[in-house]
Structures are given as structure tokens and as C-alpha cells.
Amino acid sequence: MEATITLRVDGEKHELTVDTRTTLLDALRDRLGVTSPKKGCDHGQCGACTVLVEGRRVLSCLTFAVAQEEAEVTTAAGLAGEGELHPVARAFVDNDGFQCGYCTPGQVCSAVGMLREAAEGWPSHVSGDLEGPVRLDDEEIRERMSGNLCRCGAYANIVAAIREAAE
Amino acid sequence: MSETRVMGQPLTRLEGERKVTGRAPYAYEHPLTDPLYLHPVLSTVPRGRLTGVDASAAEALAGVRAVLTPYNAERLAGAGDGEFAVLQSEEVSFHGQFVAAVVADTPETAREAAALVRVEYARAPHDVVLTADHERLYRPVGEDDEGPASDTEEGEVEAALERAEVVVDQTYRTPTEHNNPMEPHTTVAVWEEEPGRLTLYDSTQGVHVVRASVAGVFGLDPERVRVVAPHVGGGFGSKGEAHAHDVLAAMAARVLPGRPVKFALTRQHMFSLVGYRTPTIQRVRLGADRRGRLDVVVHESVEQTSTVQEFTENSAMCSRWMYAAPHRRTRHRMAALDVPVNFWMRAPGEAPGMYALESAMDELAQACGVDPVELRVRNEPERDPQSGAPWSDRQLVRCLREGAERFGWYGRDPSPRARREGDWWVGTGVAAASYPHLYNPGSVAVVRYGGEGVYEVSIGAVDIGTGAWTALTQIAADALGVSVSRVRLRIGDTDLPSASVAGGSSGTSSWGTAIVAAARAFAAEHGGAPAPGAVARASAGEDTVDEGYAVYSFGAHFAEVAVHADTGEVRVPRMYGLFSVGRVVNPRMVRSQFLGGMVMGLSMALHEQSFRDPRYGHVANGDFAEYHVATNADVRDLRAEWLEGEDPRATPMGSRGVGEIGVVGTAAAVANAVYHATGVRVRDLPITLDTLVR
């Protein structure tokens, strides 16, 4: 079964007809040629496909494209304007927060979404206090970024990058 | 090299901006017109024969372009009988082998159609369980074979064990482990009938390696096979050769000329098709005097391989060079089981082998009442015990002693189960690290002067995340005596000169040597004022490593662990590694390599284990939900440093490899710390809660 939908990706509007089984990730990569989000597991287990939907981090392999009609989707490629990097992305480069780079766009989107969650006071598993503002120390960053696997093992540098970007 | 102005600088990755935005193209992502999508059908029995494949329902599905089976697939004259013999017979040799494949207009259709292919089997008895006394154990390398010997024997081992004052005799086990790079193995194949040219956009550690293999399989002139890989999402050994999926993608492309066929393995596919680390059963026997001076070292490893193709994990080899002892024996025995083909995984041999040896050394230290750092120092060999050659740059003692200072090792109470902090037992552990200097001669580099001070440097190398884009540019800049901005590096394509694999921590050594040679040739041929268009090429020679010396890297790992007294949960609050690897070409990226290796070692110590179901022969936990790798929250205070130095006997750059040593010995340091914390000696990785709760 097919459906014609509108996707808004990195500020651009696309009308396309998709198999209703098509995930947002496959719609982006295979149909629109937006290959910034990566496919690492297709099961929501690795985080490489993380994008922002209406500013919140979403695993694009776990949501159908047809469910994102008219939603504002932002990938790591669309986080900043032409010729400049988003501060989080810049901090990943400066702190060598990646090696092979395959998990990186997902890490960057996840970090941007996570910083907003923390700013809004969302607690995590390691938050001592469920109310009030979040103090984003290294332990909080590690916990909140643990849905994004990095097999190159760049975690220490990822935490350093996010700490720097958060300051 | 005379001047090193650019080497040693902590440049950020030259491709960094493209990676953090996701614009750097990986294998699946090259813009191609009208692609088709392949989804395979895998065997569901571990051994037997196909008795029929019914593809009619799949073929009837709208959008299906082809279904490949052993009954219609092309015969591959050059495939041999190993893992490249894809769809060449009805024989099933392991669970998860390709038995058919569907090519369709969309990925959804390909997957649906693959599920509609009906496969019938005649099952045969199978054996997928490795045991220490397996009846099919054999010696993998005969006396007359090339390559490292499977067995070595010096002195009188049994007599020395008889008379030793202190003996450690223990067996250590490591499980099946899967590389699991974040980018699943992917091949996009395009076959152009006229003039008969195959292009593969491939996720590989060696474009020229894949070209040679695939050209051989299909009987093509290598000049008619192009392999492209500008960026690769990790490999850790599993992308060090072509695998069956490269062959299958190319076969499908040859059925559908002109159409790109995209084949990205699923994460689940990667548990049977792209290699893994064999389980090992390692018996280590150490005999020493009461002061811990070794008189005898015996390291015997039992491993598995597949019936399809042999691969030996040389786990006992590290005991040939690590410590001095007049009486020494190393042995490898293997059983060929009905399992997928095993292959390289980061530090094949050294990673499991040093876990066993360095655990045994810790047990010896405990038995002798000698500090584990001091015990290793006491057994430092003046020359390579294996060859008798002098060391080029063995800095193990410095790594151990300075590392111990920097970590804060000294002053610990050596007795186990001595330090309690709240609900946690706390302990510290140490282990040595080592990796041989590997160098592949024959890589070729071309230097071309483009005018206006800019040089183009071309070599068919691959950056799998190691930092080759940046490091090779730095090496070229120094070799040419120009700044980085004057070098245009080209890698990742067989249209560029031949280069060896990114494996065995040999990439920068091998390719860098070729680049230095090409720069020297350029200077000799064109002098200081070259004309635009001037070109020189050179290959990395056979004789650049000084054969008169034993060339190895060394390091020391220190770990602090906390084990929860009630639950057995293991945490690793601190890990520290100090390494000696010759000259460091780019400190920012070398540090990342060390840290990454240590994280994989931590993961090996605490998480990684593939459970093979003895009934059906498949890995039962074949995805990231159940095959656990270290996550961000598992890694806490993690630090890596190195001793400044250079080793011109290794390479003209003075550098040695850095990709693997970080994972060597790490698991032993963690296990030794767990023993110190709890008094429980775990000899069976990974270290799980159940083994620690009493």
C-alpha cells in the first residue's frame, strides 16, 4: 500500500509517495537522498539514525514516514546554516568526538535534543532530584547519551564535546 | 626523515566537518541513478543440503527483478571452495549462509519477497560446540607451511614445571565476539556490460584487497574492477577482506546490467557473514622461583574455525616475546566446526592471548607475594626471547613504572577484598600490552605537482576511522617540506595506486613509507623547482624495517573497579593506559585510537559474548539489544598517554602502529582489578554478575 505524504526536512518541503511500511529513515535515505542520518541497526538499538522531530530526538528507524506528515524533521546536515557548524557539531570536531564518523550525525542530533531536555528540567536515571533544574555534569551527559552507541569508543571525547558546547 | 614540522601536530580531522554533518558519503550513500535493492535469504540449519528452493511467490511479487538461487546463479570459476563460493552448490555449511537473494525496486519489496522464498533442507548432523578435548582438534600449521608456526618449544618444559617453586596452572576462556562496526557491511555493485566493468562502492578496509579478491572470483581482469571507499564506518578487522556479500552483490549486478544493486547487511546478518573472533580455551602454565622469576612459560590455545575456510587466531603467540624464561612452549589447536567463517577482530591473537597471559601473571604475583608491576619488571627479557634479536624500542618497564606512578598504583594493600567503600568493593589491576610492528611492503604512492605550490598525493589507502586522511596528509607535508594546506590527498579508490589493507595496525606504517618514498623520488627527479604536472611514483620497499631488531610496541593498562557487594555489578571508575609506539604522527587522533581500544577492551571484559545455540548453530543474541557493547555510561575516567619517542628502525616516519595495542591486555587489567576488589578470580570472559555474587 502506498501513500502520498509531505515531509519537511532541514527546512525543505518534499512531496513523495511511499510504501506505508517505509520508515522515516528509509524515506530520508532512499527516497530523498538525505543520508545524514545513518542506519546502524534498524531496530532502535544504536541511535545512529537519530534526528530531531519538532526539536525532540527521535529514532528515525522506529517511526514510519507516513506518521511524520508535515512534521519538522532536522538532521545533522540541517542543524546549522550554510558554511557554518552548529556549536555542538563544532565541539565534536574540536574534541575528536568521533573516529569513523558513522554514529556521529546521530550523536550530534541526540546531544542537541538532550541539551534541550536538560534545559527543560527533564530528570534522568542518575538525577538525584526529580524536580528543579538539571545540573548537567559528566555523569548526566553519559547517562543521557547512552542510547547512542559508538563502536570506535569515542565516548570520553563525546562527553568533553558536549560539556564544552553546553557551557 | 629530517624535518618533522607537521607530524606531531594535533590537527583536527580534515574530513571532520563532513562527518559531523553526515555529508561524508559511506558505501550506501553515493548518489546513483535508479538503484535496485538486494535482500538475502539465509540458511536456517547449520549443516545439510538444499533439497529445493521455491521462489515462485517471490517472483510473482510486483517490483521483484530477480531471485538468485544455487539453481540459477552463475558459476564462479575463481571462487574456490571457501566463503566466496556463493550459491555454488546445495551444500549448507553453517546457519546463516546465503542460500538465495532477491533484487527488487524497493527495499521493502526485496525484504518481503525474501521472506516468501521457500527453502527445503535435508539436515545433517552438526557440531558447533568447541571443547578443550574436542575429537577434531588439529594442528593448524604444519612444519613445512609458511607463516608463523603453530607450535614452539624451547628447553625442558615439563621438567622445569616439576622443579618450579611456584606454579600457576589455569585455563582461561574467551567467548565468541563479533566486531560490530557501526556501519553494517555494504556493497553497491554496478555492472556495465560494455566494456564489462564492475564498480563496487564498498565498506572495506582495503579497496585493492577487495578488487583482487572479486576480480579473481569472477575471472575478471583487475583493471575492470573498481572499488570505491572514501569513508568507512569502522571495521575492526571484519572489513579487512571481501566477504560473501561482495560476491553476492556483484552476482546480482551481473544479472541486471546497468542498474546499481544496493546491498546493506542488516545488523542481524553481521552475526554469520562477516567474521568474528573465535572462542578460545587457553591453558597457561607458569613456573617460577619464590621471587617470581619465571623459569617456564607454557601457553596452549584451543580454538575453532569453520569447515568452509580456515582462520587461525594466534592467541598463544604473545607468550613468545613477552617475558624471559629458558623453558617455553606455545601451541595452537583448532577444530573445524559447522560454524560461520571466523576472521580478524581487533588484535586477533593478542587480545584474547594477553587476557590469558596477563591474568596468569597476576595469579603468579599473588602466589609469590610480589607486586604485579614488579613481577613483570623482574621478567623483562634483554633480547627478544623468540629470535634473540635486540629490541628496537622495548619500553615496557617504563610504561609499567611510570604508568603506575601516574595512575596512583603504589601504596595499595595487595590483599584481595581489602577495600570497601560503602556498598562497593574496590580494587585495582594492572596488565601489560604489546603489539608487533606490522608492515606491508609494496604500497605505491604518486606525487604530482599541480602548480602554485600544491602537491597532489595519491594512494589507494582507506580511512576506516583511524585518521588516515589527516595523518597521511601530515606525513606527505613533512616529506615534501610544505604545509598541510599545500597537500591534496587522494585515497579510497582503486583508480589510485595500489595500497595494502588497513589492518594489523599497519596502515600508516605501510602507506606512510610509500608516501615518503614517492616524495624522495619526486625531489630526486624534479629538484626544488618542479614544473606543473611533474610526477613521481615509488613503492614502499621490502627493506625499510631493520630486520636486525625485534620491533614491537608496548604499554601498560591500569584499572580501578568497584563491585557492588550485594548485586555483583561491576563498574570501572578509572582506566589509564601508558603506551610506547614510536613517534606519534597526530596526538589528537592517536589518543582517540588508544581510548577506543581501551573501551573495546572494557567491553570485552564486561559485556561481549555471542551465544551460539548448540541446537541450531546460530547466534541467539545477534543484535545490539542482546550483544552488549560498552555504552557512554560504562566509560568514566578514561585516560591514555604515551612516551615521547621515535623508532626509525620501524618506519621512515619513526612511528609504529597504534590501532590495536589499546585493546590488548585491557580485559586482564579489569579482571585483575576485579580479583583485587573481591577475591574472586574470573577466568571466563565476560565477567558477569553471577560469577561475583556468593
Q: Would the CB atoms of B29 and A94 count as touching at under 8 Å?
A: no
Q: Is the pLDDT of residue B1 over 70?
A: no
Q: Smallest CA–CA separation between B301 and chain A, in Å?
A: 27
Residue B337 lies in a domain: yes
Cα–Cα distance for residue pair B91/B40, rounded to 1 Å: 17
Q: Judging by beta carbons within 10 Å of its beta carbon (0-12, 13-18, 19+), is residue B411 exposed, middle or buried?
A: exposed
Q: What is the 3-state secondary structure (H, E, C) of B445-511?
A: EEEEEEECCEEEEECCCCCCCCCHHHHHHHHHHHHHCCCHHHEEEECCECCCCCCCCCCCCCHHHHH
Closest alpha carbon within chain A to B463: A100
* B169 in the same domain as B189: no
Closest alpha carbon within chain B to A99: B465
Of A35, A103, A157, the CB nearest to B182: A103
Cis peptide upstream of residue B686 (ω within 30 degrees of 0): yes
Q: Smallest CA–CA separation between B274 and chain A, in Å?
A: 15
Q: Which of B461, B584, B459 is nearest to B518 (CA)?
A: B459
Q: Domain span at residue B488? A: 16-25+445-539
Q: Is the pLDDT of residue B65 over 90?
A: yes
Q: Would the CB atoms of B21 and A158 count as touching at under 8 Å?
A: no
Q: Smallest CA–CA separation between B265 and chain A, in Å?
A: 10
Do B493 and B227 contact (CB within 8 A), yes or no?
Answer: yes
Cα atoms in the 13 Å half-sphere on the side-chain side of A71: 20
The predicted model gives A77-93 an average pLDDT of 93
- The beta strand positions in B14-132, using DSSP E, are 36-42, 48-54, 64-68, 91-92, 98-104, 118-123
Q: Would the CB atoms of B19 and A33 count as touching at under 8 Å?
A: no
Cα–Cα distance for residue pair B139/B428, rounded to 1 Å: 38
Reported as a pLDDT band with limits 50, 70 and 90, residue B494 is very high
Residue A149 region by backbone torsions, left for phi larger than 0, else alpha for psi between -120 and 50, else beta: beta
Reported as a pLDDT band with limits 50, 70 and 90, residue B9 is very high
- The beta strand positions in A28-125, using DSSP E, are 50-53, 56-59, 72-74
Residue B136 lies in a domain: no
Identify all chain A residues contacting B464, using CB atoms and an 8 Å cutoff: 100
Please tell me the predicted confidence (pLDDT) of residue A46.
98
CA B250 to chain centroid: 25
Q: Smallest CA–CA separation between A131 and chain B, in Å?
A: 22
Among A128-142, B112-126, B615-629, B671-685, name the one with the lowest average pLDDT: A128-142
The predicted model gives B594-610 an average pLDDT of 98
Please tell me the predicted confidence (pLDDT) of residue A49.
98
Reported as a pLDDT band with limits 50, 70 and 90, residue B141 is confident
**Coil/strand/helix, residue A161:** helix
Residue B678 lies in a domain: yes
What lies within 8 Å, CB to CB, of B565 at 6+ separation is: B420, B423, B424, B425
Closest alpha carbon within chain A to B639: A156
Closest alpha carbon within chain A to B591: A96
* Beta bridge mates, B286: B168, B297
Inter-CA distances, A167 with A87, A88, A133, A137, A143, Å: 11, 11, 15, 11, 18
CB interface of A with B, residues 4-63, below 8 Å: 19, 21-22, 26, 29-30, 33, 35-43, 45-46, 48
Cα–Cα distance for residue pair B591/A95, rounded to 1 Å: 11
Do B579 and B554 contact (CB within 8 A), yes or no?
Answer: yes
Of B12, B23, B266, the CB nearest to A94: B12
Q: Is the pLDDT of residue A82 over 90?
A: no
Closest alpha carbon within chain A to B626: A45
Q: Judging by beta carbons within 10 Å of its beta carbon (0-12, 13-18, 19+), is residue A94 exposed, middle or buried?
A: middle
Identify all chain B residues contacting A37, using CB atoms and an 8 Å cutoff: 22
| Residue whose grid cell is 528515525 | A60
Identify all chain B residues contacting A155, using CB atoms and an 8 Å cutoff: 599, 630-632, 634-635, 638
pLDDT in tens, A31-77: 999 999 999 999 999 999 999 999 999 999 999 999 999 999 999 99
* Site from B13, B15, B19, B604 to mutate, A interface, most A CB atoms within 10 angstroms: B19
Q: What is the CATH classification number for the domain harbouring B610? A: 3.30.365.10
pLDDT in tens, B503-554: 999 999 999 999 999 999 999 999 989 999 999 999 999 888 998 999 999 9
Identify all chain B residues contacting A19, using CB atoms and an 8 Å cutoff: 106, 108-109
Q: Would the CB atoms of B15 and A22 count as touching at under 8 Å?
A: no
Of A41, A90, A101, the CB nearest to B624: A41
What lies within 8 Å, CB to CB, of B513 at 6+ separation is: B439, B443, B540, B541, B544, B651, B652, B653
Identify all chain A residues contacting B63, using CB atoms and an 8 Å cutoff: none
What are the backbone angles phi and psi of residue B296, rounded to the nearest 5°?
-150, 135
* B261 in the same domain as B188: yes
Q: Would the CB atoms of A96 and B589 count as touching at under 8 Å?
A: yes
| Residue whose grid cell is 585455563 | B171
Q: Would the CB atoms of A22 and B108 count as touching at under 8 Å?
A: yes
* B307 in the same domain as B200: no
Tell me how many residue pairs between chain A and chain B have CB atoms under 8 A apart.
183
Of B231, B266, B636, the CB nearest to A101: B231
Q: Would the CB atoms of B20 and A85 count as touching at under 8 Å?
A: yes
For Cα atoms B52, B56, B57, give the angle at the middle one, nearest 5 degrees.
115
What lies within 8 Å, CB to CB, of B603 at 6+ separation is: A153, B628, B629, B630, B634
Q: Would the CB atoms of B635 and A89 count as touching at under 8 Å?
A: no
In what helix (H) or strand (E) does residue B287 lie, and over which residues does it extend? strand B280-288
* B216 in the same domain as B159: no
Cis peptide upstream of residue B614 (ω within 30 degrees of 0): no
* B112 in the same domain as B257: yes
* B416 in the same domain as B491: no
Letter string b/e over residues B210-223, b meaning 16 or more CB atoms within 10 A of that residue's CB: bbbbbbbbbebeee
* B204 in the same domain as B161: no
* Site from B14, B18, B21, B37 to mutate, A interface, most A CB atoms within 10 angstroms: B21
Beta-carbon count within 10 A of A33 CB: 9
Closest alpha carbon within chain A to B185: A40
Of A93, A100, A143, the CB nearest to B17: A93
Identify all chain A residues contacting B106, using CB atoms and an 8 Å cutoff: 19, 22, 30
Closest alpha carbon within chain B to A159: B632
Residue B375 lies in a domain: yes
Of B24, B29, B266, the CB nearest to A42: B266
| CATH code matching the domain that covers A87-166, chosen among 3.40.1160.10, 1.10.150.120, 1.20.120.140, 3.10.130.10 | 1.10.150.120
| Residue whose grid cell is 623459569 | B295
Q: Is the pLDDT of residue B2 over 70?
A: no
pTM metric for this prediction: 0.98
What are the backbone angles phi and psi of residue B599, rounded to the nearest 5°?
-65, -40
Q: Would the CB atoms of B108 and A159 count as touching at under 8 Å?
A: no
Q: Would the CB atoms of B635 and A145 count as touching at under 8 Å?
A: no
Reported as a pLDDT band with limits 50, 70 and 90, residue B232 is very high
The predicted model gives A6-10 an average pLDDT of 97
- CATH 3.10.20.30 positions along chain A are 2-78
* B316 in the same domain as B460: no
Residue B463 lies in a domain: yes
Cell of B634: 560504562
Do B98 and B67 contact (CB within 8 A), yes or no?
Answer: no
Residue B145 lies in a domain: no
- CATH 1.10.150.120 positions along chain A are 87-166
Residue B131 lies in a domain: no
Do B60 and B15 contact (CB within 8 A), yes or no?
Answer: no
Q: Would the CB atoms of A93 and B623 count as touching at under 8 Å?
A: no
Please tell me the predicted confidence (pLDDT) of residue A154.
98
Closest alpha carbon within chain B to A23: B108
Q: How many domains does chain B have?
A: 3
Sheet strand arrangement including A72-74: A12-19, A2-9, A72-74, A50-53, A56-59
* B639 in the same domain as B512: no
* B451 in the same domain as B433: no
In chain B, the percentage of residues whose pLDDT exceeds 70 is 99
**Coil/strand/helix, residue B553:** strand
Q: Smallest CA–CA separation between A87 and chain B, in Å?
A: 11
B120 assigned to active site: no
Of A40, A79, A100, the CB nearest to B267: A40
Cα atoms in the 13 Å half-sphere on the side-chain side of A20: 3
Identify all chain A residues contacting B588, using CB atoms and an 8 Å cutoff: 96
Mean pLDDT score across all residues of chain B: 97
Q: Would the CB atoms of A40 and B593 count as touching at under 8 Å?
A: no
Q: Would the CB atoms of A38 and B183 count as touching at under 8 Å?
A: yes
Residue B563 lies in a domain: yes
Q: Smallest CA–CA separation between B205 and chain A, in Å?
A: 12
Of A19, A99, A146, the CB nearest to B465: A99
pLDDT in tens, B650-669: 999 999 999 999 999 999 99
CB interface of A with B, residues 54-113, below 8 Å: 75-77, 79, 85, 89-90, 92-94, 96, 98-105, 108
Of B22, B26, B28, the CB nearest to A77: B22
Do B38 and B68 contact (CB within 8 A), yes or no?
Answer: no
Residue B349 region by backbone torsions, left for phi larger than 0, else alpha for psi between -120 and 50, else beta: left
User: What does B215-278 look like in DSSP terms, one character per residue?
Assistant: HHHHT--GGGEEEE-S-----TTTTSS--HHHHHHHHHHHHSTTS-EEEE--TTTHHHHS--BP
Beta-carbon count within 10 A of B503 CB: 27
Please tell me the predicted confidence (pLDDT) of residue B145.
81
Q: Is the pLDDT of residue B564 over 70?
A: yes
pLDDT in tens, B396-435: 999 999 999 999 999 999 999 999 999 999 999 999 999 9
In chain B, the percentage of residues whose pLDDT exceeds 90 is 96
Letter string b/e over residues A2-30, b meaning 16 or more CB atoms within 10 A of that residue's CB: eeebebbbbeeeeeeebbebbbbbbbbbb
- Angle of helix B587-606 relative to helix B666-678, nearest 10 degrees? 50
Closest alpha carbon within chain B to A37: B22
* B51 in the same domain as B200: yes
- Among candidate residues B539, B559, B586, the one where a domain is terminated: B539
Q: Would the CB atoms of A43 and B267 count as touching at under 8 Å?
A: yes
* B558 in the same domain as B522: no
Q: Would the CB atoms of B623 and A45 count as touching at under 8 Å?
A: yes
**CATH class of the A2-78 domain in this structure:** alpha beta
